[in-house]
Amino acid sequence: MKRLRLWPQSLVGQIILIVAVALFVAQAINFMLLLRERNRLELTGQTAPGVYRIVDALDSRGERRDDDRPVRARFLDAPPAVTGDRRPDVEKRAAAMFEDMGLQIGSIRVVQDQERPPMRRWERLRGRAGGGPALRHAGRLVMAVEYEPGKWVVTQTRTGERPQRFAGWLVGQTAILYVIVLLPLLWVGRRLARPLRQLTGAAEQFARTGVADPVDESGPGDVRQLTTAFNAMRARIFLMLDEKDRMLGAIGHDLRTPLASLRVRAESVEDESERARMSETIDEMNRMLEDILSLARAGRSSAPTQKVDLSALADAVVEDFLELGSPVDMADSDRAVAHVRPQQIRRALRNLIENAIVYGERAHVSVARRDGAIHLIVADEGPGIAEDRMEEMMEPFTRLEGSRNRDTGGAGLGLALVRAIMAEHGGSLRLANRAEGGLEASLILPA
């Protein structure tokens, strides 16, 4: 099971994620502060009517009213019997308000009456005018205050809760903030990432194939300078590689001329066995020269890729060995199509089969699909290779048998050339010892 990656890999994605998280944290802190202030204002709104009624009652006690206004407070000579849910938060707020007014108050008792009075007409009208209910539900807040020892004044007020629109408003504000901040940041990030992405693609293409197109010099100043430096480095490397190819071509031409001359002279040798040994030596030198030139030019092939059935290609290579009487067999394989340079894959497969015959007595060839890739497998029946020498055997001029005897192997360039060919195709060469004995060499190509 693949592990989920929450942290983006690109620099732009990391910057946007950090800014988004910072905005979220800032909005969360802002929400906490606003919620705290809102709760304080709501508490004051619930407390103030009762406090003002008591203050008004205390200021006008003993005065006779000539109008028919209802009594807003009652005076008692004993502690009132109030029932309901205790509201210590309102009591604390009321005590602070009385203290701010300069009133000396003994005790304060505030309860929330469970009985909800009917909604008044003005409250219903207010709800209709606002497009919805102004108060979600109403109740009674009973406040009893001991203004003198043993003397109490009691009043009651209505309470209500407005519809909870605060959270929706904050979510909308956060969304607007994200749009205002993140969209320009995303635009700037894409403008910065586009040339970097092109530069990365060109570098990966060069590492994979040895060729790369020049990158457009665009974007911010620092990115343009980086692109200019890459293009200059690319041009310099191509110049050096072209010079190397010309030098190798000249060396190959100059060496083939004396080798051809040696072959002509070898034909004039009267001793037949000596003439045969000289011809074999000249052929070996030609093959070694060809391998060295091929390895030096690996990764700079100009041949186009073709859509090839690798099972048919492997079968054709095996048929060539069978015609020479070599101990090779091929297992039945399904069709496996890939875009490759067929001459190079043919040469890589031939090198592996030759190694299997020389070191493992017999070669078993098969083609299989595994993990979304095509495997050209060459297995032998030899002693295998020690695990600590697997990587070493794919280095140039490295042989498993160190005597340098021409009868027991070549110059040690076969596996190095195969690995270079596979790297040029975006694949790999893998060596593994078989459980039943012998070595298994696999050419792994993307399907």
Q: What is the CATH number of the domain that holds 425?
A: 3.30.565.10
Please tell me the predicted confidence (pLDDT) of residue 215: 85
- Per-residue pLDDT at 440: 92
DSSP character at residue 216: P
The answer to whether residue 372 is domain-embedded is yes
273: in domain = no
Burial class (CB in 10 A: 0-12, 13-18, 19+), 50: buried
In the chain, DSSP finds a helix count (H) and a strand count (E) of 9, 12
With respect to residue 34, please indicate whether it lies within any of the assigned structural domains.
Answer: yes
What is the secondary structure of 89-110 as a DSSP string? HHHHHHHHHHHHHT-----EEE
Give the burial class of 129: count Cβ atoms within 10 A of its Cβ; 0-12 exposed, 13-18 middle, 19 or more buried.
exposed
Q: Tell me if 47 is assigned to some domain.
A: yes
pLDDT of residue 422: 86
Domain membership of residue 55 (yes or no) is: yes
Q: What is the rounded CA–CA span in Å between residue 73 and residue 57? A: 6
What pLDDT was estimated at residue 129? 52
Amino acid in the structure at residue 16: I
Q: List residues bridging with 148 in a β-sheet.
A: 151
Q: At 385, which amino acid appears?
A: I
| Angstrom distance (rounded) from CA 426 to CA 442 | 14
Between CA 23 and CA 166 the distance in angstroms is 19
Report yes or no: 289 and 249 within 8 Å, Cβ to Cβ: no
Tokens of 72: 């807003």
Domain total in the chain: 2
| CB count in 10 Å sphere of residue 250 | 10
- Domain contains 202: no
What confidence score (pLDDT) does residue 8 get?
Answer: 61
CA distance linking residue 355 with residue 113, whole number of Å: 97
Give the domain extent around 115: 11-60+72-126+136-164
Mean pLDDT for back-to-back runs of 10 residues, the chain (447 residues): 54 76 84 84 85 85 52 80 83 88 86 63 52 54 87 83 62 82 81 81 76 79 84 86 74 75 80 82 78 64 80 92 91 88 89 88 90 90 84 72 50 76 85 89 88
Where does a domain end: 164, 184, 218? 164
Number of neighbouring beta carbons within 10 Å of residue 144: 22
Identify the three-state secondary structure at position 215: coil
Place of tokens 């290579």: 317
298 domain residue, yes or no: no
Residue 20 lies in a domain: yes
Pairing verdict, β 363-370 and 328-330 = parallel
